[in-house]
Amino acid sequence: MRRPHQIAVGVFATWVLLLAPSEAAAQAQDSTDGTPEVLSGEKPQENGFKIGPGRLHLYITEELEYNSAAVILPTSSAPGAPFAIDGEMILHTRPGVNLEIDGDNNSFGLSGDVDYLWYTGWITPGDSYASRLDAAADLHGSFNKNGVIGFNIGDTFSRSANTYTPSIPVGVISLYNQARLEVPIRPGGGALEIVPHVAYGVELFSQYSGVAPGDPACADPTSPCNPANLSQYNYQDLTSGLDVRLKFLPQTAFLFTSSYDARFYSNTTVNPDASELKLQVGLAGLITTKLAVIFKVGWAQGFGTGHLSTVIGQAEVTWHATELASLSVGFLRDVYPVSGNGSYIDDRPYINGKVFLGGRLSLSLTAAYDFFDFAQGDPTTPTASRNDTQLSANLLCEYQVLRWFIVGAGFLVAHHTSTDTLDTLNYTQWQPYVQVTFTY
């Protein structure tokens, strides 16, 4: 919703739809005239290994992208030298798996990939040392969905340059994991659902990509590429709360959500203490057969030396033009603890659209504008204020040539500005890319 990594999540979710298309899309593909399967009178077989009511898909993606902010390089070897952001052509090799098992009372899903990024050196010679291995995985399960007491689990893992922390500059490598647990309680047939939940997350930061190991400029304790200046922002996060959903129409519900987000740091000197208690009420669901809405409003009460307290909420309208096309427009205002600055408010208008045409062609667009208002500025000058803005957009087109062969192209852009004058907080990142995916 609000951070650079979510653009990548949107891309991943879109092509997963290609690997596991809806029933309508599958029917459209099966009825395509002129294919060898149709001419022979045989129904095309589905991809994947059959596992109970679900299928396991294996795939490998080759992607070539140009990233205008691929490497962070010191302009000289002198301690404290300024840094420059340079571009590069990067080749991704990304094998992965996708498994979805959806039973009547239990469901389980697992998706994940590893991604080797080879910095080719075609644009910035000699930067192959920036090549790295990224990874992502998501696990979710819902058990006893029709019972009075259910049990939901989830875990999200990632290693990439897309952090969950907007206060940290571009180029940082983030290692993130969050485990989640929910226990839905459904007294009286399921119209009322009470959901206590808890989540534990941790994010660890490592050295800027593109900085040569042992570079003299990074020996300066004040240098942003000094590894110690990144690990000091490492954190642990514990979130717990209670949600209530009351259905008063077949597909519409009254919502009450609550959460307490507590942030813990090993280095409390540069990370102001902040935690947030958030309470919201609202509605969610279909108001017509084509329109769905989310409307929530509430209050965030902060605690600690770097806290913020303010009104929060979300308003979103989704138009389901067809079963295979939708458009969402919304606005989000929320508060989160954050490394180095205590906490921040995110005001975010956004738009998401996707369409699946002819059973083969997929188009998607995600765009957002974030205004980040931080409780505190530079940790070395706690009285200073800091505001950032980020405009991000991603356009993706994919075409399923064969059941096992998908081609795609996209364009991702992020423009970040900050009242902090650090170069790596003021940049424009362009990422045009092409990709091919082989899947079973």
Query: What is the structure's pLDDT at 214?
Result: 60
Fill in the amino acid letter for 256.
F
- Look at the chain and report how many structural domains it folds into: 1
Tokens at residue 53, please?
A: 């009511």
CA gap 432, 413 in Å, rounded: 8
SS3 per residue for the chain:
CCCCHHHHHHHHHHHHHHHCCCHHHHHHHHCCCCCHHHHCCCCCCCCCEEECCEEEEEEEEEEEEEEEEEEEEECCCCCCCCEEEEEEEEEEEEEEEEEEEECCCCEEEEEEEEEEEEECCCCCCCCHHHCEEEEEEEEEEEECCCCCECEEEEEEEEEECCCCCCCCCCCCEEEEEEEEEECCECHHHCCEEEEEEEEEEEEEEECCCCCCCCCHHHHCCCCCCCCHHHHCCCEEEEEEEEEEEEEEECCEEEEEEEEEEEEEECCCCCCCCCEEEEEEEEEEEECCCCEEEEEEEEEEEEECCCCCCEEEEEEEEEEEEECCEEEEEEEEEEEEEECCCEEEEEEEEEEEEEEEECCCEEEEEEEEEEEEEECCCCCCCCCCCEEEEEEEEEEEEEEEEECCEEEEEEEEEEEEEECCCCHHHCEEEEEEEEEEEEEC
Query: What is the structure's pLDDT at 5?
Result: 40
Query: What is the structure's pLDDT at 211?
Result: 61
Domain extent, residue 81, equals 5-439
Query: What is the structure's pLDDT at 227?
Result: 65
Query: What is the structure's pLDDT at 78?
Result: 67
Half-sphere exposure of residue 97, counting CA atoms within 13 Å on the CB side? 10
Q: Is the pTM of this model over 0.95?
A: no
Task: Please list the residues that pair with 62 across neighbouring strands.
Answer: 93, 436
Report the b/e string of 399-417 with b at 16+ CB within 10 A: bbeebeebebebebbbebe
Residues of the chain with pLDDT under 50: 1-43
Tokens at residue 329, please?
A: 């427009």
What CATH number does residue 433 fall under? 2.40.160
